[in-house]
Amino acid sequence: MTAKNYRQAQASEASLLRIFTIPEDAESTLSIIEQKLSEDLAGFLGKSIAALEKPLSLIEKDFRAYQIPDSPRFVSDYTDEIMKNLVAHSVHTSAPSFIGHMTSALPYFVLPLSKMMVGLNQNLVKIETSKAFTPLERQVLGMMHHLIFDQADSFYNQWMHSANYSLGAFCSGGTVANITALWIARNQLLKADGTFKGVNREGLPRALKHYGYDDLAILVSERGHYSIGKTADLLGIGRDNIVSIPTNANNKVDVEQMRQTAAKLAKENIKVMAIVGVAGTTETGNIDPLSELAQLASELQCHFHVDAAWGGASLLSDKYRYLLKGIELADSVTIDAHKQMYVPMGAGMVLFKDPELAHAIAHHAEYILRVGSKDLGSQTLEGSRPGMAMLVHACLQIIGSEGYEILINNSLEKARYFAQEINQHQEFELITEPELCILTYRYVPQAVQSFMEQALRNNDIASVKLCNKLLDGLTQFIQKHQREQGKSFVSRTRIKPAKYQRQATTVFRVVLANPLTTDEILNDVLQEQTEIAKLDSHYLPQLLAMTE
């Protein structure tokens, strides 16, 4: 052991100070790994992550110890261990054939920038611990605000850096963004009035009493994200007061039914606190008719929030931004930069049309967040926060809107190509067309297809239902098996297609945001699924037997 690579492994003050003052030796295990990461991330991940899936129960064996170890360890020993136990059994989320979730490949420059961000260790809650990071974050929020709401020069000059006003809030993710938006909506609706000090001070029961409502409700498509239910629970409104509105055949909320529901609620003295538009849905990527929802929100005089955590990035495409028409009429919009904007995990945002909106949740504290300061923490749900906005800033500047135009358009067009391939394939059934870059489909053996078509023609719903149930098993089998083989990954979910009388149906779900996913990879995915289907010894014979 040379003096240089001696890092730790005995607890003395001197050895401890070394980990804070003496950098990793360039020849150390960790430095070599970092070097490999810098030189070829995809190669590093490809080599380090095991191709074959290890059962979770076995992985857990390596994480069984529940006592903090007494003795310090060498950084190199620790690194060897996590390469074997952790990294090898993590998920290659940036693989071009990992098309099942919303994580994607990252641009290289975010790696050194992230390291710089960690080294700077700013805390965005307050100017005193973040300085220039505060105007930077405000600028990022301003740019996203402009992308959505497109206000005049004077608007941004006046508000972007103005103390006590916010064009939005940076959050750890879309869930916190959605919670923030609806928290504001609730507090805005039930604000101080006469002797009533506001829901923020007196609480929801007294607020309802003061305003004379029996209850509050939030209206959202049945395809709304589960974070909306979580929000209703958290805010004291109750999950049952999320009124789930049916969607049409294209998974878009039925605005007329929403209007009728609102009228019914009004008769019951239940106040609609907010309408949430989905853009697009997590499962199918479809976008609600936002302009019509805005119109309804205006009729009901309620807050209009758009959850564009996933779809919002499509505004960066001039060609396709029309798909989100009406989003500019929202009071608040959620966008996750860690989804289709190619920023690492942990970069959610909510944007407010009106810079005064966040007053509804403002709070102050003596040692921090003094009144009149520009501290970002006085109008956010979270307290201490890292400088993640820097990575969004970097992507916006380095990729630019012309770059995003290409990335987004390619994703959407790749999804259209894949849908076409599925449609043309004899044994696959496209369940939902891609509107953005998400689509769902399933594998249906040809014989089963003919059988189901006939059953549908004969209105033999019982047979269709039975068939679908067996196909669910097959879809699940294929998806699990494909994941375990480790070559490619699609996710699965259950949706209720209009074509099948809204029977819950298990489908493959594909998200095509990775710029490195090629047409060839997509064809291989289908090829692999076809082969796996043939392995199924349980469902397939049953299905085929039905058709005889």
For the CB of residue 409, give the shortest distance to a copy of itself in the complex, in Å. 10
Q: Measured from the CB atom, is 175 or 468 closer to a copy of itself?
A: 175
Interactions with a copy of itself, residue window 57-76 (CB under 8 A): 59-60, 62-75
Among 106, 253, 276, 439, binds a copy of itself (CB under 8 A): 106
Q: Measured from the CB atom, is 455 or 510 closer to a copy of itself?
A: 510
For the CB of residue 45, give the shortest distance to a copy of itself in the complex, in Å. 7
Q: Measured from the CB atom, is 234 or 263 closer to a copy of itself?
A: 234
- Give just the sign of the alpha carbon dihedral 452, 457, 462, 465: positive
* Residue 503 touches a copy of itself, criterion: CB under 8 A: no
Over the window 359 to 398, marking each residue x when it contacts a copy of itself by CB under 8 A and - when it does not, the resulting string is --x-xxxxxxx----x------xxxxxxx--x--xx-xxx
HEC sequence for 112-126: HHHHHHHHHCCCCCC
Q: Measured from the CB atom, is 329 or 399 closer to a copy of itself?
A: 399
Interactions with a copy of itself, residue window 317-336 (CB under 8 A): 336
Q: Measured from the CB atom, is 19 or 535 closer to a copy of itself?
A: 19
Stretch in the footprint of a copy of itself (CB under 8 A) among 18-26, 286-294, 299-307, 446-454: 18-26
Q: In a 3-state reduction of DSSP, which class is residue 239?
A: helix
Among 21, 154, 195, 459, binds a copy of itself (CB under 8 A): 21
Q: Which residues of 403-430 are buried (b: 16+ CB within 10 A; e: fewer)?
A: ebbebbbbbbebbbebbebbeebebbbb
DSSP bridge partners of 342: none
Q: Measured from the CB atom, is 226 or 424 closer to a copy of itself?
A: 226
Interactions with a copy of itself, residue window 172-211 (CB under 8 A): 172-176, 179, 183, 186-187, 197, 199-206, 208
Stretch in the footprint of a copy of itself (CB under 8 A) among 88-96, 295-303, 419-427, 455-463: 88-96
Among 95, 99, 145, 500, binds a copy of itself (CB under 8 A): 145
Interactions with a copy of itself, residue window 228-287 (CB under 8 A): 229-230, 232-241, 282-283
Interactions with a copy of itself, residue window 438-477 (CB under 8 A): none
Among 210, 252, 442, 492, binds a copy of itself (CB under 8 A): 492
* Residue 41 touches a copy of itself, criterion: CB under 8 A: yes
- What is the DSSP pairing of strand 303-307 with strand 332-336? parallel
* Residue 220 touches a copy of itself, criterion: CB under 8 A: no
Compute CA distances 91 → 32, 83, 142, 488, whole Å: 22, 13, 34, 11
Among 97, 142, 324, 334, binds a copy of itself (CB under 8 A): 142
Q: Measured from the CB atom, is 210 or 448 closer to a copy of itself?
A: 210
Concatenate the DSSP letters of all residues of 401-439 into one string. HHHHHHHHHHHHHHHHHHHHHHHHSTTEEEEE--SSSEE
Interactions with a copy of itself, residue window 393-422 (CB under 8 A): 393-394, 396-407, 410
- Which amino acid, one-letter code, is at 41? L
Among 5, 80, 135, 192, binds a copy of itself (CB under 8 A): 135
Contact 27, 34 (CB under 8 A): no
Alpha helices, H only, 49-130: 56-61, 75-85, 110-120
Stretch in the footprint of a copy of itself (CB under 8 A) among 114-122, 285-293, 300-308, 322-330: 114-122
Give the C-alpha separation, 528 to 532, whole Å.
6
Given the structure tokens 């007294």, which residue do they identify? 206
Give the C-alpha separation, 480 to 469, whole Å.
17
Q: In a 3-state reduction of DSSP, which class is residue 348?
A: strand
- Which amino acid, one-letter code, is at 527? Q
Laid out side by side, the sheet with 348-352 consists of 168-171, 348-352, 332-336, 303-307, 270-278, 215-221, 242-245
Among 3, 13, 322, 457, binds a copy of itself (CB under 8 A): 13
Give me the half-sphere count of Cα atoms (radius 13 Å) on the Cβ side of residue 501: 11
Give the C-alpha separation, 286 to 283, whole Å.
8
Give the C-alpha separation, 293 to 456, whole Å.
34
Among 227, 251, 332, 517, binds a copy of itself (CB under 8 A): 227
The footprint of a copy of itself on this chain (CB under 8 A) covers a number of residues equal to: 182
For the CB of residue 293, give the shortest distance to a copy of itself in the complex, in Å. 22
Stretch in the footprint of a copy of itself (CB under 8 A) among 105-113, 326-334, 465-473, 527-535: 105-113
Contact 536, 477 (CB under 8 A): yes
Stretch in the footprint of a copy of itself (CB under 8 A) among 86-94, 248-256, 417-425, 455-463: 86-94
HEC sequence for 437-465: CEEEEEECCHHHHHHHHHHHHCCCHHHHH
Stretch in the footprint of a copy of itself (CB under 8 A) among 124-132, 411-419, 454-462, 523-531: 124-132
Stretch in the footprint of a copy of itself (CB under 8 A) among 143-151, 255-263, 287-295, 323-331: 143-151
